[in-house]
Structure 1
Amino acid sequence: MSTYGVWTTAYGLPAFAYTLDQDRDARAEWDPVLDPPTRRHFAHVGNRRITLVSDNYGLSDLFDEHTGLLWLTRGTGVTRIGELSTDISGSERVFGPTFAIVRVADERVALERTVLCPEGEQPWVLIRLRVRNLLDVPVRLELTEEWAAGAARVELVTGATAADDPGLELELLGEAKSSSRPEPGDGAGTRSGPEPSGGARTRGGRLEVPLELAAGGERVLHFRFGLLDSSPEPASFGRSLAALRARLPRAAAGQAPEAEREIPWHAALLTGAACADGVLGGHTLDQGSCYSFRHGFNGAARDPLQHALPLVYVEPDLALSVLRNTCAWGGPDGDLPYALGPDKRPWTDLFRPSDQNLWALWLASEYLSATGDEAAFRAAVPYHPIHESPEVPLHENLRRQFRFLVDVVGRGEHGHLRILNADWNDLAISESGVPREVMIAQGESVLNSAMAAWVLPRYAMLAERLGDDPTAAEARELGEELRELVAGEWNGRWYRRAYGPGAIVGDDDLWLEVQPWAILCDAAPPERAVELLRTIERTSAAGSPLGARLRWPARDAYGPGGVGTIWYAINMTLVWAAAPYLPELAWDWWRRMTLTAHTAAYPDVWEGTLSGPDAYLAPETARPGRTWDLAEVGVAMQAYPVANLHSHSQPLLAYLRLLGVEPFQQPRGGAFFASPVLEVEP
C-alpha cells in the first residue's frame, strides 16, 4: 500500500486516488535538495502538444515545448462555488493517464472537476465540471472558473525566468458568445474568451457562470484553457476518452499481474510527453524530469530515440516522427549534438558522446522491421537550421550518421570504438583513472563495441532493404569484427568495460551496462551467458528491490555514474538479455522495474508511485528509493524526480522483449500484449 493512496479506475482507465492529507501528515514532506522542502506531489500527463502537471493541491501547471521550453502557467486552475473550491486539502484527488479529477462537496452542492488533455495536438486543456444540487429544493448558485497566466521560460541550468504572456484564453464551450474583450489589466492577466451570453461574465482569467439547479438536479459545463487563437474546434470530452481507451495497449502476464495496469499507464505517460516541434518538425520526446523542467535542456540525443523504441509497436507514426525530429538535430556530417538548449539550438559545451548515432540506426531498423514502411526512408528530413544545409532523404541522413560513427568516432588501439568524452555513461571518463584529455583522445568503449555489434547487422538489413547501399556490407563486417573483440573481453567473471592508455576499466569491478550487450550481440556463448546472468543476480542485483546496481562491488559514490545507482535503461537491457536464457529470472527483474515494486519497497516515497526518475539509489545509500544529486554543481535529479521518460519507456520495452518482440524475428509469446498495430498471444 502506498502512503499516498490507492490505484483505481476512472472513465474506464487506470487511475490513482490520492488520499493523503498532506497538510497534517508529516510523511508528505520531501526534500528536492536544490530547493526548500515541500509537500507538493505532482504528476505529468499530456497529448501530442501540451503537458498538464496536476498536483495534490488540486492545482495545475501547463508546459509547452513547441518552440522552446516554456511554462504557460504555474499553480493555477480553480473552480469555486461560494465558499467551496477545488484547491482545498480535503478534496478527493485522482490522477489519470491524461487527466486529473478533483471532487469536493459541502451541505449544498457536490462538484466534480476533470482537467483533460484532449487527444491530438491541441495546445489547451478541456475542463469538465459536474455540479449537483444535494438539497431537496431548487438553488441559485454562481460558479467561477479561474486560471492565471504565469509564463516562464526555462533557462539553461539556472531555472525559470518570467516570459511574455503567450496569449492564453479561457472559454466556456457550448454557449452563444459575443465579441467583447476584458479591459487590459483586468483580473490575473490571462486573456479570456469572448463574452458568453446566458448571464456568464468574463473577468480576465476568470469566468463567472450563474447556475439554477432543480432539487437533486445537476449541470455539466465544459471549458477550455490554453492557446486557443489558431486551434481547431475541440473534440468532445467523451470522444477524447474513447480514443484514448482505443489507442492504449493492453497486457496480461501470469508472471507479473501488475502488467495489466502498468503497461497502458506507461504507454499513456510516454506518448503524453510528446510535443509537436515547431522548429525542427516531427515530435520531440525528451527525458523531461530535472533535465527539461528545471535545468532547461533536451538531452542527450540518444534519449528520445530510446524512448521511441517501444512506440514502434504502439504508435509507430509517433516513433517515426521522433526519429525524424532527432535526426534533424544534427548536421550534414552525420554528427548528433549532445543536447538541445531551451531555445532548441544545439548544446555541445558539456558532453560529446560517442554512441548517439547507434541509437538512430537502431530505431530506424526497428521501425522498418515492424512496419515495412520503406517510403518513410525516402522522405526528406531537414538538418538543424544553423547548418543552412539542404534536407536529404531519411535513408541518406542515416547513412551519413553511419559514416560519422565509422570515420569520426572511429576505433582505438585495441579495435574498439572510441569513447570520446562519454559513451552512455556520462561520467565513465572520470572513473577510468586516466587523465581526462588522454582518455578522450585515446580511450575505447567496450560498451559501444558490444552495442554496435548488435545494432550494425540490423542496420545492414535496413540498408539492403532500401537498395544498393555499400554501407550494408561494411556495417555487417564491422559488426562481426566488434562481436569477436567483445568476446575476447571476458575476464573469467564478466566483460571488461573500457580501455585507456595503460589502463583497463572493469577488470576488478563489474560495470553492469556492458554485460547485457555482450550477451545480446552473441559475444557470450549460451553457457557463459547463463553464468554471467547468475553472477549479476548474486552481486549487482543482490538485495535490491528495484533492480541491479550499475557497479559492483559497492563503494561510496552515488552520483549519476556511481555504483549505488539503479538505472532503468540498463535494467531494460538486462531483462532483455536474460529472457531467452533464464526467463523466470528475467520476469523477476522486470517486476523490480515496476511502480508496484517501488511502492512495496518504499511506500513513503512519492517518486516511483506514478512516475519516476532515470535512476534510483540502492538500499545501502543514505536515501534509498530516491534519486541522485550533484548539488555541489547545482544539478539534481532529486530536484524534479518524476516525469523522466525512462521510467515509462523502459518497462514497456522490456515487457515487449520478454515476449520476444525484436527487429527481424518472430515473437515467442509467453504473455499477452495488444495494441492497435500488434497482438502477441501467450
Structure 2
Amino acid sequence: MKRRTFLELAGLGLANTLTPRTLAAQAAPHASPTRQDPQQTATEAYGSGHFGRWQSDAHGLPAYRYTCNQLTDPLAVLPVDKVWRSPTDHMHQVGNDRLVAIASNYGHVQVRQDEGSPKFLNDFCPEEDRYGAGIGFLADDNGFVLSTYYTGAATTFDRVFGMGYLQKRVAAHRYVVDQIVFAPYGDDPVLISQVTITNQSAQTVRPRWVEYWGCQNYQFSWRSLMESGVLPSPPTAVKRRRDFAARFSHRFRKLPGGKGLLETQTFLGRTPEEQLAWQQTQESLRAKPTGFFGGPTAPLAAGAAMEDLSPPATFLVTLDAPADNVATSGKQFFGGSIEHPPGMTASLDNDMSAEGPESAFLLERKLVLKPGESRTLSFLYGYLPEGFSADELIAKYSIEPESHWSRSCAKWKSIAPIFRTPAHLWVEREALWSSYYLRSGLTYDSFFREHILSQGASYQYLAGLQGAARDPLQHVLPFIFTDPHIVRSVLRYTLKEIQSDGSIPYAIVGYGVPMPCVYQPSDLQLWVLWVASEYVLATHDREFLQERIPLYPRHDARPDDPTVLDLLSRCFTYFTSKIGVGRHGLQRLFNGDWNDSIVYSHLTPEQREEVTPIGESVLNAAMATYVLDYYAEMLDSIDRKEQATLARAKAKDQREAVNAQWYDRWYRRAWLDEKLGWMGEKQMWLEPQPWALIGGCVPEEKIATLVTTIDELVRKPSPIGAMLLSQPDPTMKDEPGTGTNGGIFYAINGTLIWALSLENGEMAWDEWEKNTLARHAEIYPDKWFGIWSGPDAYHSSQSTQPGGTGVDFPVLNMHAHAWPLYTSVKLLGAEFRLDGIRFKPDLPLDDYEFNTPLLGFKKTAAGYSGWYAPMTAGYWHVEITLPEKIFRPLKNLTVNGKPEALRSDYGRTSFGGSSSPGAPLRWDINFGQL
C-alpha cells in the first residue's frame, strides 16, 4: 500500500515541527562541498547520484562519501509534509543485531531500541535543545569552537556512510577532528564513538572535547497516534509522544573510576489530560466502530502494554581514560545555540541535577597536543536490557578500544554474501551493501523474546508498528543462505503472534499488542508456510519443526504447547478453511490481500461491507499454487504424506481456479461482488502474473503471451522496474503512477524477476538490474533516496514525479535490500527440493559467481562449479538445466573431487553426493580443461 495512504487512514497527525529556530539551526552558511577524489574510477562511481560518491573504505568495504551541501543545494530539499524531520535531513542506518541508529547528514544519530516497545533513546528537537546523540565539540583557550554537528562553521566537513558506521571529518583553524560512530558487530546494545583530534599548528595546544548523547526518549506510541487520529483537535501524535516522554524523571550517577555516567528513568504517571484523551478516544471508537482503528481497544493481554513505562538505563563512558568533567543538562549546555554553545565557554560544572526533558550525557576530556600530534578518544554509549550489565560491557570494550572499529568492519566483510560479475563490478558492492543494511535492521523484541527484522521506514519510525506480519518474513528470505538462526527467530516471532482463533495480527505495536485496526489481510498464513518450508528444505533443519512455541501471550514454552509443525498446520487450516474460497473457487479476499488498498482504501464503507465476505483474490490463489505445493514438499521430507496430499490437492484446485481467470492477455486481479465485478479487465495488474508463472498456472501455449504482455505493458515503459498497473485505475484513491495505482514495488518485482528467470534469463537479469539502487541513482541522480537505501515503492513513469516516493520517510525500508539479495539466487534458477537442489541458470553473463555459506554457484570460461552445504549430513541430488547449445560442449563432471560420467537429457543433468557440516558437496562441470 502507498505509505501516505496508510498514514492518512491512521490519521497520523505528525505535524511539521520545524520552527523558525529549528530551521535556523539547520540552515547556517556553509563552506563549499568537499571535492571529489580524482582517482575514483567510473566503475566505483556508478550509481552515486548527485549527493556524493561510492568508494571503498580502509577496510575494503563499500562506503558512500556524502559531499552535498544540503544547506544551500536546492536538490537536497524534500518537501516534507507533517513529519518531525528536516526537509534536508538525509538518513543512513547504523546498526548491529540488537539496535539501530539513524544517522543524519547533519552528524547526529538517534538510537532505536525495541525492548519494552520501539523507541528512540535520544530525541531530536532543536527548539528544546535536544540534538539526538553522537556529536562532539572541541574548544581551546582562544574561544574557538569546532563541532561535529553540521552547521557550516568548519572549513571542511566530510561525511562517510559506511557499513556499520557514520564518519565525520571536520577541519578548521588549527584542528582536524575525525569522529566515527559505529555499532560493534554482534548483539551488544552499544555504540562506540571514536574521536581522533589532530593539532595541525606549530604550537602546543590544550583543547577540550565534550561528547554529547541525549537522554530523552521518543516512543513510537500507537496510542498517541490513535488519539491524534480519532480526537477532533490537536495535539498531534508527535506532540503527544513528547508530552508522554516528559512524564519521566531522570536520575544520573557517576560510574566507578570516573569513567562516565549512568542514567535511569522513572515514570511519573499520566496527567489527567492524558487519561481523559484516551477515555474520549475509546468513546469515539465505540460510537463509530467502522473506522480505521475499528471499535474500542480490546483489553490488553497479560504483560502487554502500549508504551514502555520502564525504559532501560543508559550510560556513556570513556574507554581510554577517566572523564575530566561531566554535566547533564542539554538546555544549559546549548542555551539555544548549536553553533556556539555557552557550555563550551568553560569546563563542564559536574552538575548532575537535571531531571526533565533537558537531561543529557555530557563528558569532557582535556588534552595536550604537541605540534602535529594526534590523540584518539573512545566513548561507549549503551543501554541495559535484561541480561546485560554496564560493568561487563565497559570491561569488554575497554580492551584495545581503538581496534574495535576495524575488527567490526572485518566481521561485516566476512559474513556478507558474494554476488559478482566482471561485466558489472558495481553488482558486488550492491550485494555487500544490501546484506549489511538488511542485517543491521535487526532488533530484539523482549515481549516475544526474539530478534525481529522490521520493515522500517514510515511504518516503524512514524506509525510505530511492526508489520505487516508478512514483511519480516520477506526480509529473512536472504538469510536462509547466510544466517539460519535469524530465520528461525523471525519465524518463531511470527508463530508466537498467532491468536487463539488461528489468525495472525496485521502488526504488533507497543509491547506485544496486536495493532488495533480494521485490516484483516488474507495472505499472512501463506507467507509463514512459504518461508518455513523454504528454510527446512534448504537447510534440512528438520529439528526446528519440533520446537515448542508458547501460545500468545505467554513467553515460556510448555510440554503441551504446539510445535512449529503444529502451528504450520494451523496456518494451513486457517488459510484453507477459515479464509477459504469464494464462488469462483479462488481464495477469499477479506478486506485486503498483499495490497491493503485493494478493498479498504479503494471502496466506500458500504462497498467494503459487501465485498469483505465474498471477494476473491487471484493474487492469493496464484501464490497458493506454489506455496501449498512447496509446503507439501516439505511435509514429504518428514514423511507426512497424508497432509502433503491434502496440500497438493488444495494447490491443484487453486491452479484450476486461476487458470480460469485468463482475460485477453493476462490474468484478472480480483473479484469484488456482483455490482463491482472483476478488477483487472480494463488494465493488467502485475501482482498475480508472476505467481501464475511460478505456480505453474499458465498453460504452455500462453506463457509466451503473458511474458510478452508483461514486458510490453509494465516493464519496457519503466526504467527502474516494472509498474504495478499497465495504466492507472481511476477508481483507486492513490494518484496515477503512485502507490498501488501504478507505482513500482520491490515486493512484486522480486516475484517478477523470479518468474522471468524461469522463462527468459535475459529479461530476468534486466529486471534485476532495473530494481537496484545503482540503477535508480543513475536514472534519477537528483533524488537522494534510492542511492544508499530506498522506500518500499517508487512513483512510476505514469506519475507526475517519476522516480519519487512518499516523502515523509523515503529510506530504510528493508524491501529495498531484501528482494535484490533474494532474487540474485533466483537468477540462478535455484530451487530447493526434499532431496537436494535444482539450478536453471540462464543469465546473459559470461562470468559470474554467487557465494554464501549454504550454497555457491560459479560460471567461468572453463565451465560451471558450485557447492551445497545443508546443516545436516546427507546425500543430496543436484540437477542443472542449461540451454542445449551451452550444455553440449561440456565434457567433464567431478563430484567431491571424483570424476563421474556427465549425462544429459536435453540440457539437463543430475548427479548426487554427500555433505556433512564443514564438508560441503562440491561439484565441477567443465569444457575439458582438467
Q: Which residue identity lines up with residue 149 of structure 1 in the other structure? A: C
Separation in 1, partners of 2:88, 2:583: 53
- Give the CA deviation at 1:221: 2.1
Partner of 1:394: 564
Question: 1:230 and 2:389 equivalent?
Answer: yes
Cα deviation digits, residues 273-310 of structure 1 (max 9, x gap): 11122111221112111111001111111111111111
Separation in 2, partners of 1:506, 1:599: 32
Separation in 1, partners of 2:752, 2:696: 14
Partner of 1:91: 157
Question: 1:73 and 2:122 equivalent?
Answer: yes
CA contact (8 A) 2:252 2:263 kept: no
Deviates more, 1:259-268 or 1:337-346: 337-346
- Give the CA deviation at 1:350: 2.4
Question: 1:211 and 2:358 equivalent?
Answer: no
Separation in 2, partners of 1:43, 1:199: 30
Go from structure 1 to structure 2 and tell me whether the alpha carbon gap of 1:453 and 1:469 turns closer, same or farther (over 3 Å shift): same
Partner of 1:567: 745
Q: SS of the residue aligned with 1:681? A: strand
- Give the CA deviation at 1:590: 0.9
CA RMSD of aligned residues (A): 2.8
Q: SS of the residue aligned with 1:2? A: coil
Question: 1:5 and 2:177 equivalent?
Answer: no
CA contact (8 A) 2:317 2:379 kept: no
Separation in 2, partners of 1:281, 1:348: 22
Go from structure 1 to structure 2 and tell me whether the alpha carbon gap of 1:549 and 1:474 turns closer, same or farther (over 3 Å shift): same
- Give the CA deviation at 1:342: 2.7
Partner of 1:634: none
Partner of 2:912: none
Partner of 2:308: none
Separation in 2, partners of 1:46, 1:179: 24
Separation in 2, partners of 1:198, 1:48: 29
Go from structure 1 to structure 2 and tell me whether the alpha carbon gap of 1:197 and 1:589 turns closer, same or farther (over 3 Å shift): closer
Question: 1:147 and 2:213 equivalent?
Answer: yes
Cα deviation digits, residues 156-210 of structure 1 (max 9, x gap): 24544133669899999xxx8248869999xxx9854499965632323111112
CA contact (8 A) 2:739 2:793 kept: no
CA contact (8 A) 2:447 2:555 kept: no
Q: SS of the residue aligned with 2:214? A: coil
Q: Which residue identity lines up with residue 476 of structure 1 in the other structure? A: R
Partner of 1:520: 694
TM-score by length of 2: 0.68
Partner of 1:284: 452
- Give the CA deviation at 1:501: 3.2
Partner of 2:174: 108
Separation in 1, partners of 2:756, 2:809: 32
Cα deviation digits, residues 243-265 of structure 1 (max 9, x gap): 11111112113565432111111
- Give the CA deviation at 1:570: 0.5
Go from structure 1 to structure 2 and tell me whether the alpha carbon gap of 1:52 and 1:197 turns closer, same or farther (over 3 Å shift): closer
Partner of 2:81: 33
- Give the CA deviation at 1:149: 1.5
How many residues end up aligned between the 2 structures?
Answer: 667
Partner of 1:56: 105
- Give the CA deviation at 1:530: 2.7
Alignment of 1:389-538 (within 5 A): 391-429=561-599, 431=602, 435-468=607-640, 470-502=642-674, 503-538=677-712
Separation in 2, partners of 1:532, 1:451: 17
Alignment of 1:19-418 (within 5 A): 19-35=67-83, 38-74=87-123, 75-82=132-139, 83-88=145-150, 89=152, 90-156=156-222, 157=225, 158=228, 159-160=237-238, 161-162=241-242, 163=245, 177-178=257-258, 192-193=316-317, 200-204=324-328, 205-228=361-384, 230=389, 232-233=392-393, 234=396, 236-253=404-421, 256-385=424-553, 391-418=561-588
Partner of 2:787: 609
CA contact (8 A) 1:417 1:449 kept: yes
Partner residue of 1:652 out of 821, 830, 850: 821
Separation in 2, partners of 1:112, 1:305: 39
Question: 1:547 and 2:613 equivalent?
Answer: no
Separation in 2, partners of 1:584, 1:169: 62
Q: Which residue identity lines up with residue 647 of structure 1 in the other structure? A: A
- Give the CA deviation at 1:373: 0.6
What is the percentage of aligned positions where both structures have the same residue? Answer: 33
Separation in 1, partners of 2:500, 2:555: 8
Separation in 2, partners of 1:591, 1:211: 51
- Give the CA deviation at 1:471: 2.2
- Give the CA deviation at 1:213: 2.7
Go from structure 1 to structure 2 and tell me whether the alpha carbon gap of 1:200 and 1:421 turns closer, same or farther (over 3 Å shift): same
Unaligned regions of 5+ residues in structure 1, if any? 629-637
Separation in 1, partners of 2:137, 2:457: 31
Q: SS of the residue aligned with 1:318? A: helix
Unaligned regions of 5+ residues in structure 2, if any? 1-47, 124-131, 140-144, 229-236, 266-312, 329-360, 398-403, 860-930
Separation in 2, partners of 1:479, 1:62: 45
Partner of 1:672: 849
- Give the CA deviation at 1:484: 2.1
Q: SS of the residue aligned with 1:456? A: helix
Q: Which residue identity lines up with residue 826 of structure 2 in the other structure? A: R
Separation in 1, partners of 2:650, 2:430: 39
TM-score by length of 1: 0.92
Go from structure 1 to structure 2 and tell me whether the alpha carbon gap of 1:170 and 1:78 turns closer, same or farther (over 3 Å shift): farther
Q: Which residue identity lines up with residue 35 of structure 1 in the other structure? A: V
Separation in 2, partners of 1:108, 1:674: 48
Deviates more, 1:469-478 or 1:32-41: 32-41
Separation in 1, partners of 2:467, 2:789: 19
Separation in 1, partners of 2:799, 2:249: 44
Deviates more, 1:613-622 or 1:378-387: 378-387
Q: Which residue identity lines up with residue 177 of structure 1 in the other structure? A: G
- Give the CA deviation at 1:538: 1.0
Q: SS of the residue aligned with 1:105? A: strand
Deviates more, 1:55-64 or 1:125-134: 125-134
CA contact (8 A) 1:170 1:223 kept: no
- Give the CA deviation at 1:607: 1.5
Q: Which residue identity lines up with residue 369 of structure 2 in the other structure? A: L
Go from structure 1 to structure 2 and tell me whether the alpha carbon gap of 1:237 and 1:393 turns closer, same or farther (over 3 Å shift): same
Higher Rg of the two aligned structures: 2
Q: Which residue identity lines up with residue 62 of structure 1 in the other structure? A: V
- Give the CA deviation at 1:421: 0.9
Q: SS of the residue aligned with 2:758? A: coil
Partner of 2:916: none
Q: SS of the residue aligned with 1:643? A: coil
Go from structure 1 to structure 2 and tell me whether the alpha carbon gap of 1:388 and 1:179 turns closer, same or farther (over 3 Å shift): closer
Separation in 1, partners of 2:205, 2:811: 43
Q: SS of the residue aligned with 2:537? A: helix
Q: SS of the residue aligned with 1:663? A: strand
Deviates more, 1:33-42 or 1:415-424: 33-42
Q: SS of the residue aligned with 2:371? A: coil
Cα deviation digits, residues 454-512 of structure 1 (max 9, x gap): 00111112222234364221101111221122122222300111223332221221010
Q: Which residue identity lines up with residue 65 of structure 2 in the other structure? A: A
- Give the CA deviation at 1:329: 1.1
Deviates more, 1:523-532 or 1:22-31: 523-532
Separation in 1, partners of 2:164, 2:706: 41
Partner of 2:21: none
Partner of 2:345: none
Deviates more, 1:259-268 or 1:542-551: 542-551
Go from structure 1 to structure 2 and tell me whether the alpha carbon gap of 1:330 and 1:261 turns closer, same or farther (over 3 Å shift): same
CA contact (8 A) 1:53 1:62 kept: yes
Deviates more, 1:65-74 or 1:590-599: 65-74
Go from structure 1 to structure 2 and tell me whether the alpha carbon gap of 1:363 and 1:544 turns closer, same or farther (over 3 Å shift): same
